[in-house]
Amino acid sequence: MSTETANAGTGAAGSADGERTYSVDNPAPVIAPPRARTGKTPKATRGNFEMHTWLFMRLSGIVLVVLVLGHLLIQLVLDGGVTKIGFAFVAGRWASPFWQVWDLLMLWLAMLHGANGLRTVVNDYAERDNTRFWLKMLLYTATVFTVLLGTLVIFTFDPNIR
């Protein structure tokens, strides 16, 4: 929480000689509450965006439990575990549209789920509007980049690459 007390000019007031600086007629500034309405306070929002993201988190979470646990089981446990994974293994799996859809769905849901989770964390913890904006821009850029790159790979994968 922001603890700016706007007394930067009275640097000496911090310690024991505060008595000399503040009096009944000149009280110290108090810390403004976060919810104080100011000119910069955003207007109430219309629309259901937050509801849809909230619902998306629940639904994608349920689907991801199946997708991710299944993915981990296949990749790391069954059929000799992690040692079997190689170019041939991936090429063999992506020959089937089922696994293409599985991986594509997992990529999109996991990225959007994680990005939205981080978005709420940034919204909750960023103190200044500028910090919040740039952190979210960084987050969105990384998300879009990863999703697009992954999608491109899944759709254009060529097992006969040399």
Partner 1 sequence: MEQPGQSGTAEPTTSGMITVTFRIRRFNPEVSADASWEDFTLEIDSKDRVLDALHRIKWEQDGTLTFRRSCAHGICGSDAMRINGRNRLACKTLIKDISPEKPITVEAIKGLTVLKDLVVDMEPFFQAYRDVMPFLVTSGNEPTRERFQSDEDRARFDDTTKCILCAACTSSCPIYWNDGQYFGPAAIVNAHRFIFDSRDEAGEQRLEILNDKDGVWRCRTTFNCTDACPRGIEVTKAIQEVKRALITRRF
Q: Does residue 31 belong to the site contacting partner 1 (CB under 8 A)? A: yes
Q: DSSP letter string over 40-107?
A: TPPPPPPSSHHHHHHHHHHHHHHHHHHHHHHHHIIIIISTTGGGG-SHHHHHHHHTSHHHHHHHHHHH
Shortest distance in whole angstroms from residue 58 CB to partner 1: 10
Which tokens hold the place of 44? Answer: 């109430």
3 scored as a contact of partner 1 (CB under 8 A)? no
Q: How many residues touch partner 1 (CB under 8 A)?
A: 42
116 binds partner 1 (CB under 8 A): no
Exactly one of 24, 78, 82, 161 binds partner 1 (CB under 8 A); which one? 24
What 3-state DSSP class applies to 33? coil
- What span, in angstroms and rounded, lies between the C-alpha atoms of 148 and 142? 10
- Asked whether position 117 contacts partner 1 by CB under 8 A, the answer is no
Positions in the binding site for partner 1 (CB under 8 A): 1-2, 5, 7, 10, 13-14, 18-19, 21-24, 27-37, 41-42, 44-45, 48-51, 53-55, 120, 123-128
